[in-house]
Amino acid sequence: MKILVVGSGGQLGRELKKLHTSDDANSWMFAARDQIDLQKADDLRRLNEWKPDVVVNCAAYTQVDKAEEEVYACWEINALGVGRLAKKCNEIGSWLIHVSSDYVYHHNPGRPIKEEDPLFPRGIYAASKAGGETLVREFNPKHIVIRTSWLYGNEGPNFVKTMIKLGETKSELRVVADQWGSPTYTYDLAKAIRKIIRTLADSPNAEFAGTYHYANEGVINWHGFAREIMQEMGYDTHVLPITSAEYAAAAPRPGWSALSLSKIKRVFDIFPPHWRISLKSYLQELKKTI
């Protein structure tokens, strides 16, 4: 199988790049924004030459708060650009594995959210991610949409790295305690994507097409997550709980992002590790570099 990763310069894209060295069965290509820019329709012509069997889209406009101002850019990349990519994949007969977000939900059914639950995207970023998903389904029947949450990885900035930096210097921090979800290590998600690709290679028809959740197992709020990071790092920084209203971010965040993982377990035999276990191994890796 020939696999093309679009958006290979981001957290998840770079994780997939690292992981592909241990995959001899497939040939991988990586395109960062300078090679495939989702805002430039002409760039997609490259797919005619490369003819990948599977495209993994990790590219996205991810500045959630800035999106409230940069509405057009966010919509152009996350919805229209993704739609164009899906159309091109359909044209060349390739699968599209597209990464989406827990932000499409914004409601609490009182249990882990299932893939078929209704979407209530709030804010420009959330709406653009929901729009992108819709266009993927519309334009390419050979699609896998993966909704994930609270990503952190070895590359690029993320919540864990921010907490470590603050923990080094601050004696007290205030962190939101009314948003619940599952922190997800990009290494685990990258491995899940690799497993999905292997399954698709064994089954060329579209029986696996659909929408799936992938997150690390277990649910916590940001305050609890921050406390765990401080504890693991051996910092005695006090982490105080605040509300989303007190934090007052520009874009709304979902209060409940607990994603049901039953479908991905059942269909792809993928069993995500618990977030605590993944955080520990992430920090062990990170400590080697600081």
Ligand X SMILES: NC(=O)c1ccc[n+]([C@@H]2O[C@H](COP(=O)([O-])OP(=O)(O)OC[C@H]3O[C@@H](n4cnc5c(N)ncnc54)[C@H](OP(=O)(O)O)[C@@H]3O)[C@@H](O)[C@H]2O)c1
Q: Is 61 in the site for ligand X (CB under 6 A)?
A: yes
| Residue in 77, 85, 96, 135 binding ligand X, rule: CB under 6 A | 77
Q: Is 130 in the site for ligand X (CB under 6 A)?
A: no
12/258 with CB nearer ligand X: 12
Six token digits for residue 107: 């409601």
Q: Widest CA span of the chain, in angstroms?
A: 56
Residue 238 C-beta: closest distance to ligand X, Å: 25
How far is it, in rounded angstroms, from Cα 163 to Cα 160?
5
Note if 125 is an active site residue: yes
Q: Is 188 in the site for ligand X (CB under 6 A)?
A: no
**Nearest CA-CA partner of 226 in 275, 281, 290:** 275
Q: Is 148 in the site for ligand X (CB under 6 A)?
A: yes
Which span (34-42, 47-55, 86-94, 226-234) binds ligand X, by CB under 6 A? 34-42
What are 259's strand-pairing partners?
113
Q: Is 253 in the site for ligand X (CB under 6 A)?
A: no
Q: Is 190 in the site for ligand X (CB under 6 A)?
A: no
**Site string (91-110) toward ligand X, x via CB under 6 A:** --------x-xx--------
| Residue in 4, 11, 179, 211 binding ligand X, rule: CB under 6 A | 11
Q: Is 60 in the site for ligand X (CB under 6 A)?
A: yes
Residue 265 C-beta: closest distance to ligand X, Å: 19
Q: Which residue lies nearest ligand X, judged by its C-beta?
A: 10
* CB 235, CB 167: distance < 8 Å: yes
Which span (16-24, 36-44, 84-92, 225-233) binds ligand X, by CB under 6 A? 36-44
23/70 with CB nearer ligand X: 70
Q: Is 7 in the site for ligand X (CB under 6 A)?
A: yes
Q: Is 256 in the site for ligand X (CB under 6 A)?
A: no
Which span (6-14, 48-56, 114-122, 222-230) binds ligand X, by CB under 6 A? 6-14
DSSP the chain: -EEEEESTTSHHHHHHHHHGGG--SSEEEEE-TTT--TT-GGGGGHHHHH--SEEEE------TTGGGT-HHHHHIIIIIIHHHHHHHHHHHT-EEEEEEEGGGT----SSPBPTTSPP---SHHHHHHHHHHHHHHHH-SSEEEEEE-SEE-SSS--HHHHHHHHHHH-SEEEEE-S-EE--EEHHHHHHHHHHHHHHHHH--SGGG-EEEE---BS-EEHHHHHHHHHHHHT---EEEEE-HHHH--SS---SB--B--HHHHHHH---PPBHHHHHHHHHHHHHHH-
Residue 252 C-beta: closest distance to ligand X, Å: 15
Rg over CA atoms, the chain: 19
| Residue in 3, 4, 12, 124 binding ligand X, rule: CB under 6 A | 12
Catalytic residue among 105, 125, 214, 235: 125
User: Which residues would be at the binding site for ligand X (CB under 6 A)?
Assistant: 7, 9-13, 33, 36-39, 58-62, 77, 81, 99, 101-102, 129, 148-151, 156
Any idea which residues carry the catalytic annotation? 125
